[in-house]
Amino acid sequence: MFQLTPLVRNLIIINVVVFVLQQIVPVINALVPLNTVGTGGFMPYQFLTYMFAHGGFMHILFNMLTLASFAPILENEWGDKKFLFFYLATGIGAGIIYVAFNHFILPGSAGAVVGASGALFGVLMAFGMLYPNMELQMLFIPVPIKAKYMVFIVGIITYLLDRSGQVSHITHFGGAIVGLIIVSVWKGQGRGRY
């Protein structure tokens, strides 16, 4: 089963606590989502809060399963401080890309967004970059796949399964891009296994 590291365990606990609070204190649902600039609901703190709130049970379940599956390996590799920086940077970076895209490219086309998915696509990208040839057996995929292809396959599956149109694919893409940039910079600094 999962071998949770201390920081990953705490991140899961925070996400679950926020999700429970969303159910019993509904006003939270108006405060924590990331709104786009110009909607009247945008507040800068939402770049942090949105990634700890979720839109439903299946949303948090799959996000926390992903966090529990891949993040402990990165926390063990980097240590808790570096992993926390990475996790928050990819989540906040994904939020910034989401807001910028919806403000400058498609103004007025998107609503508020919640979920850890931006940070988690950063985690998946980092995992694929650190362990590119590790073979993984994923749920719903009958054959093992190499980690370097995982983020693309997960992204494609997420896109294809989105029948509601409520999944923020730009946030997923943003988290993966920020993760790619951070890991590339760390690799370029050449500190051991970065």
pTM of the model: 0.89
What is the SS3 assignment for 73-136? HHHHHHCHHHHHHHHHHHHHHHHHHHHHHHHHHCCCCCCCECCCHHHHHHHHHHHHHHCCCCEE
CA distance linking residue 16 with residue 35, whole number of Å? 22
Domains and CATH numbers, the chain: 6-189 (1.20.1540.10)
pLDDT tens, per residue, the chain with 194 residues:
468 999 999 999 999 999 999 999 999 998 999 988 877 788 999 999 999 999 999 889 999 999 999 999 999 999 999 999 999 999 999 999 999 988 777 776 677 899 999 999 999 999 999 999 988 887 667 888 888 887 778 777 766 665 555 557 788 889 999 999 999 999 888 654 54
User: What is the per-residue pLDDT for 64?
Assistant: 96
The pLDDT score that the predictor gives to residue 192 is 45
